[in-house]
Chains A and B, each alone.
Chain A
């Protein structure tokens, strides 16, 4: 019965501990940056970072740990794209990449065009990143409040209120088409 003996930490390998969460990492990245090819760049970068930091991983569930890295890389990638778009004259960026504004001004729905959001996936895509990530982590990834707090770096109370606002916004989109 050798095959389940505890192997040394280096053998509790990245492949076995972190790689099984690749689909989660990709899903979260895809929902955060809303661009298929940028999402893959983000996941690759995040996985390479995770591999580097793996020595400092203290065990437990690797998924929130990995998603936290994915999230940071995704936000950096969005900020970089936005910066590039602002300094470039001839390159019209996809407008959904332009929405990383100060969350303090707090419109629940960040997209300029608010028609056509009766479809739930589109309404979710149109939420501000702070609200969208909470809902994606909760509903699609089934993370607990505590894990979401860990991934997003905010207190659990903030997670709860963001989830509430995200859900209210989606429900409003359904009943009022989001253009109210």
Chain B
């Protein structure tokens, strides 16, 4: 043992907490190879982390409390006359898009830079209470027929519960003038929206992946469809999700 285990143990913990850079993580891995006591520490910490997540409850705000609080905040807002629900979350949004959608299923001239913004914004909108799901089911055989009755194309619905991305449901969205199927997956407390569009025509200069406002997205085309995965998961987990989904 060439390194001080007392110092190393905080780094083992930091590694499990996702706080180490690859080079530091590699140093820890090398130490663990040589030091059974630290290897045991790592196992114990990992076991505890799993148990904490499984056994310790979170306490979200109750619906009643949320409603009362929102009313209280509205009353206390500094300039009530000028404060209103943001347009993008309100009725104006829905009406605008119902009109756009009724024009035809064509991409409106949307710049390459705007499209990821819109996908991420749609994901954020969906995370508002009551917006997330139209059909709630963890069963792909329920979600798929639900889409089939509502879309002119048939997005594949896959269940990835076996590798920690359970299907939670589905929803229809209108984005850039197109109807999109949104499949909702979960990863622990995180939500992943997977959007499927018919067609693969996209504005030029579109990046295949990136992040906006702390949300990561990955885009790919497959079987004549365009897919966008969006979530606040970190880039590695997003990548893992997309690879698993494409393999499934």
Contacts and interface: CB of A to CB of B under 8 A. Distances in A.
A14 B69 CA distance: 13
B121 A23 contact: no
Interface stretch (A74-82, A90-98, A109-117, A136-144): A136-144
Interface residues of A, number: 48
B56 A121 contact: yes
Interface stretch (B30-38, B44-52, B159-167): B44-52
B44 A48 contact: no
Contacts, number: 116
Nearest to B19: A145
Contact of A23 (B61, B82, B83, B117): B61
Interface residues of B, number: 53
A139 B118 contact: no
Contacts of A171: 44, 48
B85 interface: yes
B10 A164 contact: yes
A26 B13 contact: no
Given A4-B88, A44-B69, A167-B45, A124 B52 contact: yes
Given A4-B114, A43-B61, A145 B45 contact: no
B108 interface: yes
Nearest to A157: B10
A106 to B, nearest CB: 18
Contacts of B66: 22
Nearest to B82: A10
A173 to B, nearest CB: 10
Main secondary structure of the interface of A (DSSP, over half): helix
28 contacts: A3-B96, A4-B88, A4-B118, A7-B86, A7-B87, A13-B85, A13-B86, A14-B77, A16-B86, A22-B66, A23-B58, A26-B60, A27-B59, A27-B60, A31-B59, A39-B59, A40-B61, A43-B61, A61-B214, A120-B52, A120-B55, A120-B56, A121-B56, A124-B52, A140-B56, A144-B18, A163-B17, A171-B48
Interface of B: 9-10, 13-14, 17-19, 44-45, 48-49, 51-53, 55-61, 65-66, 69-70, 72-73, 76-79, 82-83, 85-89, 92-93, 96, 108, 110, 114, 117-118, 121, 127-128, 176, 188-189, 214
